[in-house]
Amino acid sequence: MNTIRKNITLPVTAYETINDYAKKCGMSFSEFLRDTALKAIAKSEDLSLLEYINANCAYVDKNEQEEIEALNIDFDDLSGKELNLDELLQD
């Protein structure tokens, strides 16, 4: 396995907190940072669409919601056709 060495800058208190916790977990400082970062990335990438929307999108205001509801869209009707980009861009 190829490895790379990187330097990071932390406040002393942050280093001590992380290092103490890593020791409690039976891990080195580097191993703890690596594993924790990889878990955070995996968790972020595994968000479901709903979780992503809840985490990153604001709710619509009352007026906008009323406009959407006035369209009487049946969101359960999946009979439409999915378009690819070429079809969408055609005249």
- Whether 36 is in a domain gets the answer yes
Q: How far is 37 from 87, CA to CA, in rounded Å?
A: 41
- The residue whose two tokens read 């990335």 is 41
Q: How crowded is residue 30: how many other Cβ atoms within 10 Å of its Cβ?
A: 13
Domain region containing 63: 12-75
- Whether 88 is in a domain gets the answer no
| Closest C-alpha among 17, 12, 56 to residue 36 | 17
- Whether 90 is in a domain gets the answer no
**What's the total number of domains in the chain?**
1
**pLDDT in 10s for each residue of the chain, 91 residues:** 788 999 999 999 999 999 999 999 999 999 999 999 999 988 877 777 778 888 888 888 899 999 999 999 888 888 888 888 888 888 6
- Whether 3 is in a domain gets the answer no
